[in-house]
Amino acid sequence: IAQADNPKEQDVYDAALARFDRQLGEFLTWLDQNQSPDATAVAIAGTYGYDFAGGKRGVYLTEPSLHVPLVIRADPAKARFQ
């Protein structure tokens, strides 16, 4: 991840990522305790990355903005995608 021109902006972004990571962990723990892991696949994707160094807002085709967050959790031996 490129470093922000404004360190406070980077801190806010890092805090948001940490919060999302914590909440996702809590959600996956809840799923494990309340649902069958064999029957549940989870896929989460972001809309686009963020280019701190370029100072651009919105969607631009810069290298950092092309790195899209993606999280997938499924048992590949049991998951069937149609």
Q: How many other CB atoms are there within 10 angstroms of residue 73's CB atom? A: 14
What is the value of pTM for the model shown? Answer: 0.64
pLDDT digits (tens), the chain, 82 positions: 455 566 787 788 788 889 989 999 999 899 888 887 677 888 988 876 666 655 555 556 677 667 777 888 887 777 665 5
For 81, the token pair is 């995608």
